[in-house]
Structure 1
C-alpha cells in the first residue's frame, strides 16, 4: 500500500500521482492486482470492497438503512484514491459472526489485498471481540464515517457498538415482558407478529426522527410539505412496497415519534 503523501490533487481535485513517481510506482505494482495504473499522470487507484448490512429484511427492502450507508461510502470515495470493485449486501444481525456474505467479502479482500469499506463499525459487527480479530488480521479496514481512525479508534467503536446492541436487546426483552404482563400470550403466532410489527415500527420511527427534524429545520413544517418531500426523496414508508407517503402515514409517524419522546419542531 502506498501512503497518501505520494498523491497530489489535480485541478479537478482528483488524487493523481506526481509525474516523477509514476514510472517507479508502476514498476513496483505491476504484479499487484489491487492497483490500477495506466498513462503517466493517471490516477493510481487502490482496490476496495464495500460491505452493507441491515438488521432485518424489512429494513433492507425499505432502503432507509442502505441509503445512509451508501451516502457515507460515497462521501469517502469522493476524496480518496480508491475504487470499489465489489459490493456485498447482507440482512443479518450484527451479533452473528458466521454471516456467509461477510465471509465472502473478507475472503475476497484477503485474496486480492483489497480494502474493506464499511459505513460504520456497527454495520460490520456488534461483537467487539470479532471486530478486534478483524483488526488484527491481514485485511485493511476503513470506516467511512471515520476514515482517519486508527485500529484503537475502531476498537473503541466496536466496543460502543456491542454496548448499544445490548441496550437494544434489553429494550426488546422489556417490551416482551411488558406485553406478557398485559396478558398477551407470547406463544400465539398472530400476537407475536403484531408485537414484532409494533417493535419494528418503533425502530423505524427512531430512524426517521432525525430525517423529520432535518426537514423541519429546512422549512418543511406542514404535513403536506413533509409528504411531498419524503416522496421526492423516494424514502419508503414503513408499510408499502412503493415510495408513496400520504397524510395519514406521516401523521402516524409523527405521533409515534412523539410517543418515543422525540420532538421535531413542526
Structure 2
C-alpha cells in the first residue's frame, strides 16, 4: 500500500522562539504523533519565523512548491500555524493546495466547508443556472463557444510552444528552490547526491524521469 507523502510546515512567531525552539517542540511532537497514528512519510520540513498575519512568507511558499512537486500533502500542527485569516485558508482550498492538521485531521474538509458554505452554495447556484441556460440555448439551436477554437489550437504552434516553455520555466523555478533547500541543509552535497535526495523524496524530472547528477548540474547552470 502506497503511503501519503507529507511536507511539514512549522511557524514560530518570534526569532527568540526560532532560536530556542520554544513552540517548535510541541509542533514537531504533533506531527510525529499524527504520522504514528495515521501513517505516511515525511519528505521535507520548513520553518517560518514570523507572524501569521504577514503576507510575505517565503518558507510557506517553499513548502507549498515542494508539496506540489512531490505530490505531497502539507502538514501543520494546528490551524493557526497556517493562519487565523479565513480568506487565507479558503484561498488554499481554491488553489487546490492539500493540507492536513495534526491536531484535527478532518478540519480541512469539515470546518472550512462550514465556514465557506454560503459562498460555495452561491457559486454552485450560479453554475447550475449557467448550465441550465446553456442547455436551453442548445435546445434552441444556438451555436455555443468559439467555432474557430479548434482551428486556432491546431494551427497555432507558437502558442503551444509558449505554453510548454512557460510550464517548464515554472517547474524549473520550483525545483531550484527545493535544490537550494537541500544545499542549505548539506552545503557539501554534490549534484549526484542532490539527485539521489530528490529521488528519495518522491520528486521526478519535468518528464517524470528519475533525477541524475547531469540533470541537476544542468538545472543549476540554467538558474
The TM-score with structure 2 as length reference comes to 0.48
> Which structure: greater helix fraction?
2
